[in-house]
Structure 1
Amino acid sequence: MSINNINNTNKPQLDPAKLAQQQTQTQSSGSANTAGAAQSAAPAKQDSVSLTQSAQQLANVQKKGGEAPVNQEKVDRLKKAISEGEYRVNPEVLANKIAVLESQILGVKA
């Protein structure tokens, strides 16, 4: 299924023959210009990428998370209990664990 005119705008359709002609003209004029420019141009620079410290830390956390051991037996038991409606959450214990985790993340004593 194709979607045409998605925003109900009346944009003119591109003429493939006209587009090909324009590209040919651009390439032919560009090749003449680049021959002279290549002789006087400085050497091309190499692209480089640098990651911020936060991005590096995130990459390390993701790597460690992928390497962490998984107790598949426990995972299977929990999946079964959830699917059968037998898994119960103690809200007080959960709230305390969240508070401890937040204090560890923020560096504040609970």
Structure 2
Amino acid sequence: MPDNSTVSVEVSYNADGLVPAIAQDATSGAVLMLAWMNAEALATTIETRRGTYWSRSRGELWVKGETSGHVQHVQSVSLDCDGDTVLLVVDQSGPACHTGAETCFTEREIG
């Protein structure tokens, strides 16, 4: 298990111990997806350079691409100004969205 101690100090997790994580394409700059991370997911992402998240519905870690093959190779990990959002800049292999779309933010414009 990765050492979470250095990561947890800087990050403002919510009451459930989670922080939102935005994945952005390193080449195009497109926002690919938003998922949640706990301290272990963030530490694992930093250690392995693979997008690793916390599944709120399953209550377990999941690695992007583990079943689909659409892997996220993490180039950088940053925090926003108040430490309550993580930004992953990634090289995405294949679609990022579970629907098969390149990004989760397509065809749903509301304004």
TM-score bracket, shorter-length normalisation: under 0.3
Larger C-alpha radius of gyration, 1 or 2? 1
TM-score normalised per structure 2? 0.24
| Bigger relative contact order (CA 8 A; separation at least 6) | 2
- Where is the helix percentage greater, Structure 1 or Structure 2? 1
- Where is the strand percentage greater, Structure 1 or Structure 2? 2
